[in-house]
């Protein structure tokens, strides 16, 4: 019985996979940079700690979804931060066009003892040049009482 059942199951499984062929293999989304309008950074950092930085960005429509942050180290303690979204392209105008402010949290580990500079991407100016919200965060030494 096993000799008959095994080939039969194999044929059924193969035909199931073959019958699920997708006609359109083009991507149905693309990534985009989202414009930050505010970042809630602490007044200072303490070396070795992890901080939550709330970033408010603009969601341009109902087909754009937050995917995460792209953080680029520009100098030892310089960081360029871009909120990344994915845009669905196969909705054919079914998305709301309402712009909304959304907050996402960036977790940041302090690994250097020098002041940090954050530049959050805020969109492009009229000439197509990137603009940034810039914040400087000093490092404070840990207060200890003995």
Q: What is the pLDDT along the chain (146 residues), one digit of tens a residue?
A: 545 455 555 555 555 454 455 565 667 889 999 999 999 999 999 999 999 999 999 999 999 999 999 999 999 999 999 999 999 987 666 888 889 999 999 999 999 999 999 999 999 999 999 999 999 999 997 654 44
Residue 90: Cβ within 10 Å count: 11
Per-residue confidence (pLDDT) for residue 69, from 0 to 100? 98
CA distance 139 to 133: 20
Per-residue confidence (pLDDT) for residue 28, from 0 to 100? 85
CA distance 48 to 72: 20
| Residue partners of 50: CB distance under 8 A and separation at least 6 | 107, 108, 109, 110
Residue 104 DSSP SS3: strand
């Amino acid at each position: 019985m096993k000799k008959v059942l095994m080939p039969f199951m194999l044929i059924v499984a193969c035909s199931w996979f073959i019958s699920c062929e997708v006609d359109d293999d083009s991507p149905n989304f693309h990534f985009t940079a989202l414009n930050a309008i505010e970042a809630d950074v602490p007044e200072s950092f303490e070396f070795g700690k992890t901080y939550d930085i709330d970033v408010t960005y603009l969601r341009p429509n109902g087909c754009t979804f937050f995917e995460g942050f792209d953080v680029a180290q520009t100098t030892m303690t310089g960081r360029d931060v871009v909120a990344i979204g994915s845009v669905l392209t196969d909705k054919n105008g079914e998305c709301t066009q309402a712009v909304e402010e959304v907050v996402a949290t960036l977790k940041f580990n302090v690994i250097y003892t020098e002041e940090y500079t954050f530049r959050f991407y805020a969109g492009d100016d009229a000439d197509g040049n990137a603009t940034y919200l810039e914040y400087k965060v000093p490092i404070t030494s840990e207060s200890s009482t003995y």
